[in-house]
Structure 1
């Protein structure tokens, strides 16, 4: 929680606390003199004595206002400075370790959680650290001063202050931590169901499942609201106990001072009332403490990645009994794969849907941590950003930005762009506009434009996941010719007939390597590849 509070912020916070204590003591002095003035009025003291007290109260009022202004100014400045450090630190760590974070959380969830956590940390200084420290220091000062007048009253005040500032916050923070964990779990379940309901409402209506799903949604909502209610009830009980002990302290002071001098009687009672009013910000302390603690723990998971070596070379790539499961899954998506990709090879990975082809491609692209060996070094020991810089990757869905074709192809070579657009029969020029997310592009146009991106970016290893989806026969032939001219290529494809000229074909089923070899040898073997190709030819015929 305190990682992002640097020395300058600590100094500002310390200064704000000192000024806050001065402001608190000034307020107590005002009410103490007010009580003394009431007592003296009852005794019928001279008018000038009362006038001195009135002037002193006015002066203390001015001092209190000035102290409060500078206390707010400095404490808020410290808060904004800390938030700046948090934002910069979180962004740097997100960028440095994005690959590892990507495999733990979805991008939208990660960004939303990070923004929310940073916003919650604005309460660290103003609502978690500042209130208890200022109230405690002020209470110690008051007890030290008034111990000379009535030590029994001071003992009452000190005892109740310990309960309000230490005992109750610790107890209720511990209880609230368990309640908030239950609330977060029920909220996550409810939001997941709600998102599924919104996205799949049409399908639910078609299959007459709306009522059943709405019932599940209502149950989840009720559980979430029930946990929220428990949190609010606990905070209400905490607030009640704070006020109860404050009232008990006031009545306790009144009781122990019954036989004391009347002159200081009203003064100490007024001081007691004022001191416990200063404890009002402690009302929400357990909530803000748990909230900021949880946010800090989340952000601290963005630990700076270890400094790793840059790969001297990408190839060869070796998979030795590679097994992989996604986080939270027990069944392996890939099971003991053995595979080698040598420099200059054209490799194809084929198999039915769900066989693990795209997962394998993601591992080869370095998007997930694995035991793949690249250039003789385990991928876990290399700088994956440097490794990924040597790759050309085409996924099944590729992103396009609002802007010109040239903007989206990430190249300044206008002539080369226009030539490639013409070669691949695209009805664009480098200056043609592409709408947001590429909405004005067909599936085939998206594939060809991304393929041109790769041609303009000369890299060691090409990884292509279903590059021929939506591509007509003419442009498919052009793309295959270009692929076979590249240095080293790994292609996932459901179209088997086009793989005749590839050096190696790997056949996957249920995450296992079933066959491997060149096109002709696999056909002679008459195994899985052979039968899949026969089915493909039947469909074409």
Structure 2
């Protein structure tokens, strides 16, 4: 039962690391093998350097005791070999660091790309935005934890195994059973200690990882929510939680440091036992006349250096737990194919949106609860201006999120042309005005940026800034008023040359004068392109007046769909807020 459980555990571990190992095995296979090979050569050159140096020093000392031997002894070839190995080892060490780190950074870069693709999947962003500290942790610590897979586990393990085999082969020329015994001892003790350390450190490393995540999340909550915590009398409690997380990290660090010390001692004891055994063996062989003293020195120094690559596994063993946890967390996101993220265009070229018998639940419960949108069908032709109305909770935002691809349908068909969306919340970044606009079109030049700013009514404001387009905004667009931030978001929408615009309450939160100006400029932009389609979720009459068709929703169902000129159209328009 225990064997089966252990086997299942190893299988589960390999499955968790599959996505990471796949990148090394496919896209970076040659580079990964090159790095591992150079690392193995570095270890072998170090062993050869120390072994040859020991042999040379011993042989020179013995030759110096006899004049005839001193004149006959060739000092040039061994010394040249030592210089060559010394320079070669230095160059190989540099090449090893260069290739292995470049490989690791390349793989981590690919992982970040795949992680972003995973977040682009429906529902993923919603779930992660509920816990923003988790996003930061996934992008930094979780990804960085995976560098141990190659740098501290795969490469040192291969180098250690090569060192063990080569040492055994070299000693087999002295005594075959000695070479076999040394190889077996190195593999069993060296890898065995690493496995035991990894097993014992796994739980501790995971606890430290969770505590570190809690510390970061609580720190963010403390900094961003000081006012609310103070008003509710929870500031001291939040500080206590922060101290508790820090104490758990310190406790885990102490346990890991203790385990590292024990593993170091275990490697020292294993190496000393092997060295003592080798010393006794070669001493007996020297006494029997089977080998000479310089060869005995060579054997001892080879055995001494053969344990060093195994000691390099200690750090990877200690980090094995957090590496597995990071791989488990990211596995579902880093293996998503890109073509799943693309919405198919409608089969009818006259349609911009084509929804047929769609069922949607915002929390992606996969049918466990009653779907919020049931058997919903909606077709919008290219060039139509449609207002989506209904009371709060009617399903407007859910429908907009479905069309935008932020939600996936439980059932039914969804086909949408390329589109852009203006959310209720204005998303601006701590960057320049120019770079905030270039998110919509990275290839836009400055004249085009000034043109869309003018259409959005923000050109004069930006021109008055000290650095114009290069003026930096604070976090969340700090430095702009709510109306100016909304205009900048609208300019970003105008910059997107796509056939469909999705606007979710575009003037919400703006004063009447600013809202009227934004809508006037939006109407002017629409007049310049009659083929552009608009779907606008709204509660206010001034926004719905831009539409030539009104769709009314109630409890996730479309209850009215009328066009301008129908008496019901004016009645629905009159039912909206006039402000």
**Bin of the TM-score, shorter chain as denominator length:** 0.7 to 0.9
Aligned to 2:538, which of 486, 493, 500? Answer: 493
Match of 2:512 in 1: 473
Distance 1:337 1:504, change over 3 A: farther
Match of 1:378 in 2: 414
Distance 1:321 1:449, change over 3 A: same
Aligned to 1:70, which of 82, 88, 91? Answer: 91
Residue-pair matches, total: 514
Give the TM-score, by structure 1 length: 0.75
Match of 2:170 in 1: 145
Deviation for aligned residue 1:180: 2.7
CA distance in 1, matches of 2:207, 2:451: 58
CA distance in 2, matches of 1:118, 1:211: 33
Deviation for aligned residue 1:397: 1.0
Q: Report whether the alignment pairs 1:311 with 2:338.
A: no
Q: Report whether the alignment pairs 1:351 with 2:391.
A: yes
CA distance in 1, matches of 2:306, 2:414: 64
Contact 2:352 2:417 in 1 (8 A): no
Match of 1:383 in 2: none
How does 1:36-47 map onto structure 2 within 5 Å?
A: 40=62, 46-47=66-67
Distance 1:349 1:133, change over 3 A: same
Q: Which runs of 5+ in 1 are unaligned?
A: 380-386
> What root-mean-square deviation, in Å, do the aligned CA atoms of Structure 1 and Structure 2 show?
4.7
Aligned to 1:213, which of 238, 255, 259? Answer: 238
Distance 1:447 1:498, change over 3 A: same
Deviation for aligned residue 1:68: 0.7
Deviation for aligned residue 1:27: 1.6
CA distance in 2, matches of 1:278, 1:31: 20
Contact 1:466 1:494 in 2 (8 A): yes
Q: Report whether the alignment pairs 1:402 with 2:432.
A: yes
CA distance in 2, matches of 1:268, 1:419: 81
Deviation for aligned residue 1:242: 1.0
Contact 1:99 1:368 in 2 (8 A): no
Deviation for aligned residue 1:454: 4.3
Match of 2:10 in 1: none
Residue-by-residue CA offset, 1:39-82 (whole Å, 9 max, x unaligned): x58xx952454684876764443233122122113323322542
Match of 1:224 in 2: 249
How does 1:55-454 map onto structure 2 within 5 Å?
A: 58-83=79-104, 85-86=106-107, 89-90=110-111, 93=114, 99-100=120-121, 102=125, 105=128, 113-114=138-139, 127-150=152-175, 153-154=178-179, 156-255=181-280, 259-262=284-287, 263-264=292-293, 268-277=299-308, 279-287=310-318, 298=330, 301-306=334-339, 310-312=344-346, 313-318=351-356, 320-325=358-363, 334=372, 336=374, 338=376, 340-343=378-381, 344=384, 346-352=386-392, 357-371=396-410, 377-378=413-414, 387=416, 389-391=418-420, 393-399=422-428, 402-403=432-433, 412=447, 420=455, 428=461, 433=468, 435-437=471-473, 438-451=477-490, 454=493
Distance 1:35 1:333, change over 3 A: farther
Deviation for aligned residue 1:244: 1.4
Deviation for aligned residue 1:188: 2.0
Distance 1:448 1:162, change over 3 A: closer
Contact 1:348 1:490 in 2 (8 A): yes
* Range that drifts further, 298-307 or 172-181: 298-307
CA distance in 1, matches of 2:406, 2:355: 15
Contact 1:363 1:369 in 2 (8 A): yes
Match of 1:14 in 2: 37
Residue-by-residue CA offset, 1:452-494 (whole Å, 9 max, x unaligned): 5545656543322222224333454455565697764333334
Deviation for aligned residue 1:331: 7.4
- 2:428 is paired with a residue of what secondary structure? coil
Distance 1:318 1:84, change over 3 A: same
Deviation for aligned residue 1:32: 4.2
Give the TM-score, by structure 2 length: 0.71
- 1:506 is paired with a residue of what secondary structure? strand
Contact 1:420 1:452 in 2 (8 A): yes
Deviation for aligned residue 1:226: 2.8
- 1:441 is paired with a residue of what secondary structure? coil
Contact 1:462 1:489 in 2 (8 A): yes
CA distance in 2, matches of 1:209, 1:294: 32
Residue-by-residue CA offset, 1:434-456 (whole Å, 9 max, x unaligned): 64334443212333444455456
Residue-by-residue CA offset, 1:191-222 (whole Å, 9 max, x unaligned): 22221122112222222222222223333333
Contact 1:443 1:469 in 2 (8 A): no
